[in-house]
Each structure stands twice: as C-alpha cells, then as structure tokens.
Structure 1
C-alpha cells in the first residue's frame, strides 16, 4: 500500500500511530485477546481491521449482535469483512434478551428507550465475552459522534480502548478506503440499526460533512460559533458534556 496524504492527514502514518497505541494497550494489559462488536458499519469495521493489523487477526474476536431489525445486508457485510481480513466472529442474537425486558414492571417502549437498551445489552454481552476470553473491549466511537454525544452512556461509549476517538467521520472514511474495507460498507448510509430505516444523519439533524466542518471551526475558534450551523452544533456539544466527563464525586485522595 502506498502512503496517502489527504489535507493534513498522512494516512499511512496515522494507521501506524493507531496500531502502536493498540499494541501498547494490549501488551501492557496482560490480556490475551481483543473483542469488538461488529455492526457492518464503517466505524466498527475500521476499528476491527486496525486491531487485526496491530496484534494479529488471530487475537481479534468479532461479535455480531443482531436484533430483529438488523438488516440482512449488515450481516452479509460483517461476514465479508471478517472473511477478507481473517477475523473470527460469532453471531449472538439479542432478541431474546430484549423480549425479557418487556416483562419488567413499568416497561414502556419508544425508539429512544429501546435504542439505548439495545446498546447497553450489546456492551454487556461484549464484556461477558471479554471476561470469558481474557480480552480487552475495543470501542468504535469517532470524534464527531463523541463531541455530539451521539452514543449511549455505558453502551457503545464503554470500552477499554478507543482507536477512532480522535478521528472525524471524514477521516474514518479516508482510513477505511486506504485499508481497503469493503466498498459495500464504505458506501452504505450510516446507521446505528436501532429501528427500520434509521439514519444517523437524519437522527442528528445534520450531515456528517456539516458536523465535521462545524467542529473543526469551533475547535479552531475556541468554541465560538460563526454561523447558525455552528451554533446548533455547539448546543449539542454542550448538552452532551456529561458524556465526556467522569461522574462528579467528592472523593479526595491524601
């Protein structure tokens, strides 16, 4: 592969930097494997490939955790990714677990409630397998979603390592293309797969192109918005600040 530079992102160097971080975290932890939830989306696919390059695909275990609304195409994409990069994976449906929650007192349902529940069930399942396999859990959040809080607290934002957290969504696409993630994954509409027809950009209210441009300008200008889009993005950033901070406490160390 030839090294590629796009704007200020030197892609080959960036991949090596991320892989070194993964290796350091893996070796220093004393763990034997890395587990990762695979959705068929670009973020989890890129994270899985980076992990396999960093520590060897034999040490990476993928888990596809479908619900009743998971598209068949996503399952096909996970298989294609794992076949191409020789990553072992296991399909563990979460539908039965979700159905058990329907019987608890006070249960009500909405896309928001069920979506967060699904994210937390998936992460609990991943940590079960991580404990079983003496493994670290790899997260798949990117910088754009991290700043906006587009994740579930103690769900998809929980992890032992976060190799993509410093990358804007546009940079995720650049690295995925460089590492030859299957086109069917790169070209699909971003979706958390929480309900039929769900689209990340539609749910957030902005395209990732708008989000990335606004975040870059906000960060450069000390989070002082210069237009209406940046002002709206800043509101989301501020509202999600609790997701980026440790829980407040009064513990004082001597």
Structure 2
C-alpha cells in the first residue's frame, strides 16, 4: 500500500472511530499501550479522532526495560498528554499465586494470559468511568489466526486495525510518527521473558501477510495458518448460545 493510499485509509479510520463513538452515545476512546507497534498506531489514531477525549493507558506487568523505553519514546513523539499508568504486577502475582495454591496447577500460557485479562478489566473500568469506548490493537494477521487472548486483548469495542496486514501497520506507523525503535523491534505479546510473536507462531508475519494477500507460501505454512484459523473461530464470536429456545423443544 503506497503512502497516499495509507494516508487516505488512516483518515478513514479516524472518521470511522468518531462515528462509532457517536453511534454508541459515548464521548471518546481509551487504548492500552505496550511499547509495541500495533498499540502505538491505535494510540495515534485515538488522539487524532478525539484530541481532548482520549486516554492512553500504560499497564506494566513484568514489562521489560525495552517496553518502557519504547513507551516513553511514543509518548514524546506523539505528545500524548492524556496518559495514566496502572501497575498490575501486584494484582497479577496475587491472583496467580491464589490460583496455583488452590488448584496445584500452573499452566504457563493460562497464567500469562491473566495479564491480558487484567488489562482488559482495567481498560473497561476507565472506559466506563469516562463514557469512552475501548479500542483494540489486533491486526489482520493476529485476528485471522486467533493470536490474541479471548476476553483479554480480544475483549474490546472497536478493532480499527483488523483489516491491516502487519506490513500495513508498519507503513501506517511511519506516517503517524511512531518511533523507529517501535517499528523495528521484534513483535512481542510480552507474555514471558524473551517471548516473541513469530517464535511462538512458528513463522514470520511476512508469510501470514503473503497468505492473506493470496500469494504463494510454503504448503506447511498454509496448512498451519488454516489450522490456527479454524481452531480459533470461537475467539472471533460472542459466547455460543443453544440453537433452540425452550419453546422450540
């Protein structure tokens, strides 16, 4: 996507966010930032859509020094004034310890996903307090393969990046003055130390981008993407309901 088209699309997203907030009878938007590129782009869109009625939330929870550095650079580059820090580490450790002590079962991914779900809870508390909507940060690749936490970073009101490939997000980030340190860093969900998205998924975002654009990718990658898409379908839907009501039995 060339710069002119990307500029048109980011303008479209800004107007779309405004319209959705208006339709919901709300006043603005809230977004959590992580030091990563997707949340940086959404933060930029949030400020453009609602210069006075946006809230950016930094929620450290075993976050790295690089996360903090990138967050600070983003705040400076975008001149983000409406920002609040909510430290979730003690809450996370307390809940994690309670679950492990009572169940004697520690699933690494389940425990790590507590972080995403605590952040969702925090964002909705702040959103409700301000009559705001919660903006999600998942891009087209993550959405397609289900690489997000159900009722965590997937628990949002609006998903502005859902039609953007990872390479599209990078192009948008450059136009929106996101720091190079964020654009160039290896994508990570910050689930545990030294975790990266691509090492966990098993291949690069470039290959997922190519697949979604209809380009040729290795057969094993194609099968893996289709498998991940199928098993994660429940994440892209609301809670499943019975097919029949009591009057239909």
- 1:91 maps to which residue? 85
- Unaligned runs of at least 5 residues, structure 2: none
1:209 aligns with 2:193: no
- Unaligned runs of at least 5 residues, structure 1: none
SS in 2 for 1:115: helix
- Among 58, 64, 72, the residue aligned to 1:64: 58
Deviations 1:31-68 (A, max 9, x none): 22311110010000001101111221x21111111112
Q: Please tell me whether the aligned partners of residues 111 and 194 of structure 1 are also in contact (alpha carbons under 8 angstroms).
A: no
User: How far apart are residue 227 of structure 1 and its match?
Assistant: 2.5
1:147 aligns with 2:147: no
Instruction: Please give the alpha-carbon distance, in whole angstroms, between the structure 2 residues aligned to 1:29 and 1:128.
Output: 17
Runs of 4 or more, structure 1, over 6 Å off, are none
TM-score scaled to structure 1, two decimals? 0.88
- 1:126 maps to which residue? 123
SS in 2 for 1:36: strand
Deviations 1:147-182 (A, max 9, x none): 100001000011111110111111111111121211
Pairing of 1:65-214 with structure 2 (within 5 A): 65-68=59-62, 70-87=63-80, 88-101=82-95, 102-104=97-99, 105-106=102-103, 108-214=105-211
- 2:20 maps to which residue? 25
Q: Please tell me whether the aligned partners of residues 67 and 94 of structure 1 are also in contact (alpha carbons under 8 angstroms).
A: yes
Instruction: Please give the alpha-carbon distance, in whole angstroms, between the structure 1 residues aligned to 2:206 and 2:149.
Output: 22
- 2:219 maps to which residue? 227
Pairwise CA RMSD of aligned residues? 2.2
User: How far apart are residue 251 of structure 1 and its match?
Assistant: 6.7
Q: Please tell me whether the aligned partners of residues 35 and 126 of structure 1 are also in contact (alpha carbons under 8 angstroms).
A: yes
SS in 2 for 1:103: helix
1:240 aligns with 2:237: no
Q: Higher mean Cα deviation, 109-118 or 140-149?
A: 109-118
Instruction: Please give the alpha-carbon distance, in whole angstroms, between the structure 2 residues aligned to 1:248 and 1:194.
Output: 27
Instruction: Please give the alpha-carbon distance, in whole angstroms, between the structure 1 residues aligned to 2:32 and 2:235.
Output: 20
